[in-house]
Structure 1
Amino acid sequence: MLTTKQRAYLKSLAHNLDCAFQIGKNGVTPELTQAVDDYIKANELIKINVLNSCETDIKDVAEMLGGRTHSEVVQIIGKKLVLYSPSKTKPVIELPKAKNKNA
């Protein structure tokens, strides 16, 4: 689970990203899911554009892709969504540390 500070940091990184994929009338297909999963494993952060021709609501698209790729939805803004998943082997993005609630 991302903290507010971590989410804000990821949003700032995603601001300059180009959309890596567009989702159209075919929606979230297994091939698209696999391509997004491969991309997110390599880059940790991805921005996706959902076209008007996509019949699935963007929130549902984000939940589906997040669940299928084991990533977190960072942001949904307009017709764009941002997903994040830290690399298991060699992290590329260093998130701000979460504050310890017991301190």
Structure 2
Amino acid sequence: MSAITLTAAQRKEKRAEAHHLDPVVLIGAEGLTDAVLKETDAALKAHGLIKVRVFSDDRQVREDMLAQLSDRLGAAPIQHIGKLLVLWRPIPPKEKPVDEDRKPGPKVVKVIKYSKRGGQRPEVKKVTILGNQRLTQGGTVKRAKKRIVSRKKRALES
């Protein structure tokens, strides 16, 4: 993957957005390991704009890490200030899994009741219908299935 290139104005905007962020990934004495790359990739997928703290005193090593991270992960290097590196990559769109068994949620239905007298306006109501309900011909809401009552409650009612 190659690094994303941004204009100076875009980098300036991203630096301003990253100002209040805390470091999400910490790179220790081992350097850029596979685990660090995997964690950085996951953070970029989740947040888009991240800060990485490097615990190395050598500036050139930190600059090389920033270049390697941006090349390997396809991210844009935004800033290298002190021991902090700022990276940005657009967040990929999330795909929702399709569940075939899932039924639709509540529906809002407009019920119009005409008056028996011809000159009056019809009465308009919005009614919410849940999954276990149905709308009758007269405009009332009824349960589609009988409600199951426990034996104890049935005994109390009798």
With the shorter chain as reference, the TM-score category is 0.7 to 0.9
Between the two proteins, the alignment pairs up a number of residues equal to 90
State whether residues 56 and 62 of structure 2, in contact with CA within 8 Å, keep that contact through their aligned partners in structure 1: no
Matched, 1:37 2:37: no
Show the 5 A alignment for 1:1-103. Answer: 1-52=5-56, 57-89=61-93
Q: Output the CA distance in 1 between the equivalents of 2:56 and 2:32.
A: 14
SS at match of 2:30: coil
Normalised by the length of structure 1, the TM-score is 0.79
Q: Which has the higher helix share?
A: 1
Q: Output the CA distance in 1 between the equivalents of 2:46 and 2:83.
A: 24
Any stretches of 5+ residues in structure 2 without a counterpart?
95-158
State whether residues 24 and 53 of structure 1, in contact with CA within 8 Å, keep that contact through their aligned partners in structure 2: no
Any stretches of 5+ residues in structure 1 without a counterpart?
91-103
Q: Output the CA distance in 1 between the equivalents of 2:57 and 2:28.
A: 5
Q: Output the CA distance in 2 between the equivalents of 1:48 and 1:9.
A: 18
SS at match of 1:57: helix
Over the aligned positions, Cα root-mean-square deviation in angstroms equals 1.9
Alpha-carbon shift at residue 87 of structure 1 (Å): 2.0
Which structure would you say has the larger RCO, counting Cα contacts within 8 Å and 6 or more residues apart? 1
Q: Output the CA distance in 1 between the equivalents of 2:81 and 2:68.
A: 17
Alpha-carbon shift at residue 52 of structure 1 (Å): 2.8
Alpha-carbon shift at residue 88 of structure 1 (Å): 3.1
Alpha-carbon shift at residue 67 of structure 1 (Å): 1.2
SS at match of 2:23: coil
Alpha-carbon shift at residue 53 of structure 1 (Å): 6.5
Normalised by the length of structure 2, the TM-score is 0.53
Q: Output the CA distance in 1 between the equivalents of 2:39 and 2:62.
A: 18
Alpha-carbon shift at residue 63 of structure 1 (Å): 0.9
Identity level (%): 35
**Alignment deviations for residues 28-84 of structure 1 (CA, whole Å, 9 cap, x no partner):** 000110110011011111101111378x71011101111111101000011110000
